[in-house]
Amino acid sequence: MAGTAGPMRYADGPTVEVEVLVAAPIERVWALVSDIDLPARFSGELLEARWVDDVKLGARFTGRNHHDALGEWETTAFVVRYEPPVAFGWAVSDPSNPSASWWFELAAEPGGTRLRQGMRIGPAPSGLSIAIEAMPDKEEKIIARRLAEHERNMRATLEGIKRLAQAQE
């Protein structure tokens, strides 16, 4: 993964994004994207998510996750972008210093809606930090593997949202 930008480091906030074109109106896609528990149907890691507050900017929700190497854990996330029907984003653990940031972006296009999901690792420590501290010489490989896992789960989520949105008529 090293290129002209140099090695990938946790401190640099490694990011991954995936996108798909959904043959459905943006409002229909937004209704699915803003259902916080829906990704649990498609992700191999997210088990469930539940709102703590009413849905709005600054609202909180909890997410319960499982990973074979890390076990099961729960986090609290804070909505940091809420712009129906075009953007929904959240920061994990601390909105001003998150362990990860996640987002959905939607754009109406001829033929449907361009749906993008992305995530950024850090800057605050996370479960990934423990592995990196234990094996600092493998930091780049650890990050690349984790980004690939997130990419697979995000791709599965977007494909699931696409199927559901296109099946609604």
CA angle in degrees (0–180, nearest 5) for 34-39-45: 145
Distance CA 20, CA 57 (A): 25
Short-list 15, 16, 64, 22, CA closest to 160: 22
Question: How do 15-22 and 60-67 pair as beta strands?
Answer: unpaired
| The listed CATH number (3.30.530.20, 3.40.30.10, 2.30.30.240, 3.40.50.300) that belongs to domain 15-167 | 3.30.530.20
Q: Give the model confidence (pLDDT) of 28-86 as tens digits.
A: 999 999 999 999 999 889 999 999 998 899 999 999 999 888 789 999 999 999 999 99
The domain ranges of the chain are 15-167
Residues 6+ apart with CB under 8 A from 37: 48, 49, 50
Q: Give the model confidence (pLDDT) of 132-153 as tens digits.
A: 999 999 999 999 999 999 999 9
